[in-house]
């Protein structure tokens, strides 16, 4: 039996039982056998969910990049670590070997040091999916700087908020980016953001689209000349197990985005161990995750997890629709991809275009298919299974979160029988619980409730940057001694989990987590708007789309409603980014409120979803009369 590489269902159950009966012994064995440590730990785990405080492998010293790069050099030096597939299929792909990666990461790390970055400093990375993105992440980790990657689709003001929250000293960006047929002026967005960020001293700029850009003297530097000059080796900084590795922002239901802080040793062990098992990665395989490194999926399953296992990982710069909807399948064929990991929204968008695009390509290399980010509907699941995997490649529906750092509920391919729309069984070491409204755990099968985790796992986020109280309130206060996920789930007769969706005010649109509060704040900045409420409604491709109810101020003038709609979406684009634009905007005379003044989103959600047969009790509302009016004018 192999604890590290699980191949049968029986093995899964055995290892799982071991991992929950004696977690410390279990994780110690995994950590001991499969990673490189400068010093071993004094204590495997200490935890207290009431504080909350969790420490894994305390006393250990390591550097994650030694595990991702250096230790592979003598056996896999010439093996490809990263395949970079550019936006434009005419441009040649790049194969970066482990040896090249070592050279590039070391040079970059030395540049960071020369520019005054030290262990513990925060560095914001705002880059498209080009090799510099993965390399800069690893360069930060090499010297112990804390990276904060901001997805390059976020607007300047969203970027500024994140830079300031973590008081980043440096921003790494590029002149621009390619996205399908378009180019985006990333540097212009950074310049705009930095008007509000006094903490940033230096900006490093990678060249990608070769446009003329403004370079601020004394602040901005082209990256390439610095890399060329830098020394090709860099001694890794020795990190403590619990030193922060990175910050990554995620939306909350209220307030500003939460900077989730992940630490070094536990994150490394868990992301690597899950990668190996969930994708059944073998030495010769080529693995491709289509996510952006700006999200946790990219951190754990494009960069850290795969590289820790000495894998070949594909980084794709472009979009699934450019130059046409066959692009993904062309890449699978070209690089003979064995494991393919994407999101339900991409699957639905591709399914809509028909199977012609698939039929042109040889997909026989595919062994495992993955999905993540939102619940996958049955139709999309079957389309993926029938047409992409030809019913031979098991689908791993992986449930997890930015906060969990790694995959939490998932089948193990070839071991766990899959079931459409079910994430199936907890991964090794994960102890889920379903809770009822009164805070009691619901035991037994064929039940549903709110999903919690009742025991720590190595890659859980340790805090919210600068706000530990908020970390406690958000995740550890709803249920005593448990981590609350914010999701609802059901457990079927054999113990399989199906995630039913968020139970809070977070809406997942095309796999992106969006909080209602920041969007409403943006809308309310429009001078004509009195108040607003956002809800999600079902959408064929995006999973959910946004529906905004907007009450205007009584200004006496009547404005063109379509112009107002455009202006509102413009503000949202500026404040958050185009992903948060509203599909529908209904102007209302008022919003339904409870007597304490809270907007009743439940009712608005039903109206937006055209499900008004049972609106529940509206008699307790402060203003029940607005409900009929909203229903009559629903879009
Ligand atoms: C939320 C976390 C973790 C990577 C990407 C998203 C939803 C995630 C699934 C799945 C149903 C899922 C949950 C979760 N979610 N995976 N397989 N089935 N729902 O990370 O942005 O932190 O979002 O995504 O609602 O809470 P994230």
Q: Which atom of ligand 1 lies nearest, measured to the CA of 398?
A: 17
Q: Left (φ > 0), alpha (ψ -120 to 50) or beta: where does 442 sit?
A: beta
> Is pLDDT above 80 for 569?
yes
Residue range 584-591: average pLDDT? Answer: 93
Report the chain's mean pLDDT, rounded to a whole number. Answer: 95
Percent of the chain with pLDDT over 90: 88
Q: How buried is 288 (Cβ within 10 angstroms: 0-12 exposed, 13-18 middle, 19+ buried)?
A: buried
Q: Which residues have any ligand 1 atom within 6 Å of their CB?
A: 250, 295-297, 372-375, 397-402, 423, 485-487, 499, 502, 508, 513
The residue contributing the CA closest to ligand 1 atom 1 is 401
Alpha helix segments (H runs only) across 466-577: 468-475, 516-524, 561-575
Choose between 525 and 260: higher pLDDT.
260
The pLDDT value recorded for residue 517 is 84
Query: Using one digit for the tens of pLDDT, what is the confidence trace for 215-226?
Result: 999 999 999 999
Centre of ligand 1 from the C-alpha of residue 341, in Å: 14
C-alpha dihedral sign at 194, 197, 202, 208: negative
* Neighbouring C-beta atoms of residue 181, cutoff 10 Å: 11
Among the ranges given (13-17, 217-221, 590-594, 597-601), the one the predictor scored with the smallest mean pLDDT: 597-601
In sequence order, the β-bridge partners of residue 501 are 488
Q: At 94, which helix (H) or strand (E)?
A: strand 94-97
CB contact at 8 A, 156 and 120: no
Centre of ligand 1 from the C-alpha of residue 236, in Å: 33
* Res. 2 pLDDT band, cuts 50 70 90: low
Centre of ligand 1 from the C-alpha of residue 400, in Å: 5
Pocket test for ligand 1, best of 259, 346, 401, 500 (most atoms within 8 A of CB): 401
The residue contributing the CA closest to ligand 1 atom 18 is 375
* Neighbouring C-beta atoms of residue 564, cutoff 10 Å: 17
Q: At 386, which helix (H) or strand (E)?
A: none
CB contact at 8 A, 12 and 495: no
Query: Which tokens belong to 14?
Result: 């055995």
Q: What are the backbone angles phi and psi of residue 60, rounded to the nearest 5°? A: -75, 155
Residue range 593-610: average pLDDT? Answer: 86
* Res. 253 pLDDT band, cuts 50 70 90: low
Q: Which residues of 388-424 are buried (b: 16+ CB within 10 A; e: fewer)?
A: bbeeebbbbbbbbbbbbbbbbbbbbbebbebbbbbbb
Q: What is the C-alpha separation between 418 and 381, in angstroms, rounded? A: 11
Percent of the chain with pLDDT over 70: 99
Query: Using one digit for the tens of pLDDT, what is the confidence trace for 103-114?
Result: 999 999 999 999
Which residues, 6 or more positions from 296, have their beta carbon under 8 angstroms from its beta carbon? 248, 250, 400, 401, 402, 405
* Res. 556 pLDDT band, cuts 50 70 90: low
Q: Which atom of ligand 1 lies nearest, measured to the CA of 404?
A: 3
- For residue 357, CA distances in Å to 118, 330, 455, 607 come to 49, 9, 45, 37
Q: What is the C-alpha separation between 285 and 279, in angstroms, rounded? A: 10
Q: Which atom of ligand 1 lies nearest, measured to the CA of 376?
A: 18
* Res. 9 pLDDT band, cuts 50 70 90: very high
Centre of ligand 1 from the C-alpha of residue 362, in Å: 30
Centre of ligand 1 from the C-alpha of residue 243, in Å: 26
Which residue reads 């925060």 in tokens? 122
Q: At 490, which helix (H) or strand (E)?
A: strand 483-491
Centre of ligand 1 from the C-alpha of residue 447, in Å: 21
The residue contributing the CA closest to ligand 1 atom 2 is 401
Nearest CA to 449 out of 438, 460, 458 is that of 438
The residue contributing the CA closest to ligand 1 atom 23 is 401
Predicted TM-score (pTM) of this structure: 0.92
Using alpha carbons only, what angle is made at residue 240 by residues 235 and 245, rounded to the nearest 5 degrees? Answer: 80
Residue range 414-423: average pLDDT? Answer: 96
Query: Using one digit for the tens of pLDDT, what is the confidence trace for 372-398?
Result: 999 999 999 999 999 999 999 999 999
Q: What is the C-alpha separation between 136 and 29, in angstroms, rounded? A: 31
Query: Using one digit for the tens of pLDDT, what is the confidence trace for 14-26?
Result: 999 999 999 999 9
* Neighbouring C-beta atoms of residue 555, cutoff 10 Å: 10
Query: Using one digit for the tens of pLDDT, what is the confidence trace for 135-194?
Result: 999 999 999 999 999 999 999 999 999 999 999 999 999 999 999 999 999 999 999 999
Nearest CA to 113 out of 103, 99, 123 is that of 123
Q: Which atom of ligand 1 lies nearest, measured to the CA of 486?
A: 26
Pocket test for ligand 1, best of 257, 259, 400, 460 (most atoms within 8 A of CB): 400
The pLDDT value recorded for residue 136 is 98
Domains of the chain and CATH, by start: 9-97+236-475 (3.40.50.12780), 506-632 (3.30.300.30)
> Is pLDDT above 80 for 80?
yes
> Is pLDDT above 70 for 249?
yes
Centre of ligand 1 from the C-alpha of residue 376, in Å: 11
Residue range 555-583: average pLDDT? Answer: 89
Alpha helix segments (H runs only) across 90-196: 98-114, 131-143, 156-165, 186-194
The pLDDT value recorded for residue 555 is 64
* Res. 1 pLDDT band, cuts 50 70 90: very low
Centre of ligand 1 from the C-alpha of residue 232, in Å: 39
Q: Give 412-437 as a 3 state SS string.
A: CCCCCCCCCCCCECECCCCCEEEECC
Q: Which atom of ligand 1 lies nearest, measured to the CA of 513?
A: 21
CA 217 to chain centre: 35
Centre of ligand 1 from the C-alpha of residue 297, in Å: 10
Nearest CA to 118 out of 130, 126, 109, 127 is that of 109
The residue contributing the CA closest to ligand 1 atom 6 is 373
> Is pLDDT above 80 for 255?
no
Query: Using one digit for the tens of pLDDT, what is the confidence trace for 475-485?
Result: 999 999 999 99
Centre of ligand 1 from the C-alpha of residue 397, in Å: 10
């Amino acid at each position: 039996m192999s604890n590290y590489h699980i191949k049968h269902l029986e093995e899964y159950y055995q290892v799982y039982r071991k991992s929950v009966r004696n977690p410390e012994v279990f994780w110690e064995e995994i950590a001991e056998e499969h990673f490189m440590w400068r010093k071993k730990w004094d204590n495997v785990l200490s935890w207290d969910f009431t504080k909350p405080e969790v420490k894994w492998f305390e006393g250990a010293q390591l550097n994650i990049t030694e595990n991702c790069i250096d230790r592979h050099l003598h056996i896999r030096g010439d093996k490809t670590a990263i395949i970079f597939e550019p936006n434009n299929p005419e441009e040649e792909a790049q194969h970066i070997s482990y040896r090249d990666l070592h050279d590039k990461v070391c040079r970059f790390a030395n540049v960071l040091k020369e520019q005054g970055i030290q262990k513990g400093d925060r560095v914001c990375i705002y880059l498209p999916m080009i090799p510099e993105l993965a390399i800069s992440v690893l360069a930060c980790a090499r010297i112990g700087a804390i990276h904060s990657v901001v997805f390059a689709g976020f607007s300047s003001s969203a970027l500024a908020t994140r830079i300031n929250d973590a008081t980043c000293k440096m921003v790494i960006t590029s002149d621009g980016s390619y996205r399908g047929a378009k180019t985006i002026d990333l540097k212009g967005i950074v310049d705009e953001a930095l008007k509000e960020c006094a903490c940033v001293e230096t900006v490093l700029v990678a060249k990608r689209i070769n446009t003329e850009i403004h370079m601020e003297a004394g602040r901005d530097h082209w990256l390439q000349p610095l890399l060329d000059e830098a020394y090709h080796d860099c001694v890794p900084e020795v990190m403590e197990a619990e030193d922060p590795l990175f910050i990554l922002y995620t939306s909350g239901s209220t307030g500003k985005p939460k900077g989730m802080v992940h630490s070094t040793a536990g994150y490394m062990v868990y992301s690597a161990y899950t990668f190996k098992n969930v994708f059944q990665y073998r030495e010769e395989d080529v693995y491709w995750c289509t996510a952006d490194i700006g999200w946790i999926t990219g951190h754990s399953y494009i960069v850290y997890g795969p590289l820790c296992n000495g894998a070949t990982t594909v980084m794709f710069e472009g979009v699934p629709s450019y130059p046409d909807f066959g692009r993904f399948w062309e890449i699978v064929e070209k690089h003979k991809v064995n494991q393919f990991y994407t999101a339900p929204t991409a699957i639905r968008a591709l399914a809509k275009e028909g199977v012609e695009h698939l039929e042109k390509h040889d997909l026989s290399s595919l062994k495992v298919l993955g999905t993540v980010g939102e619940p996958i509907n049955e139709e999309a699941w079957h389309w993926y299974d029938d047409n992409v995997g030809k019913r031979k490649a098991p689908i791993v529906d992986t449930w997890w979160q930015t906060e969990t750092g790694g995959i939490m509920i998932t089948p193990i391919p070839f071991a766990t029988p899959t079931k459409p729309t079910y994430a199936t069984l907890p991964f090794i070491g994960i102890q889920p619980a379903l809770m009822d409204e009164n805070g009691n755990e619901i035991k037994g099968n064929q039940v549903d409730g709110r999903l919690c985790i009742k025991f720590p796992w190595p890659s859980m986020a340790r805090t919210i940057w600068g706000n530990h109280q908020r970390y406690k309130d958000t995740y550890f206060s709803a249920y005593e001694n448990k981590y609350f996920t914010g999701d609802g789930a059901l457990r079927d007769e054999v113990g399989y989990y199906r995630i039913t969706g968020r139970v809070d005010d977070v809406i997942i649109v095309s796999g992106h987590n969006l909080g209602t509060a920041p969007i409403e704040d943006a809308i309310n900045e429009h001078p004509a708007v009195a108040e607003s409420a956002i809800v999600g409604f079902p959408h064929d491709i995006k999973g959910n789309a946004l529906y905004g109810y907007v009450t205007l101020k009584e200004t006496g003038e009547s404005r063109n409603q379509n112009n107002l709609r455009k202006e509102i979406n413009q503000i949202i684009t500026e404040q958050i980014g185009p992903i948060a634009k509203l599909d529908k905007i209904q102007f209302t005379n008022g919003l339904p409120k409870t007597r304490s003044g809270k907007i009743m989103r439940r009712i608005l959600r039903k109206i937006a979803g055209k499900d008004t047969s049972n609106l529940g009790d509206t008699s307790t509302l402060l203003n029940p009369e607005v409900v009929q009016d909203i229903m009559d004018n629903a879009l």
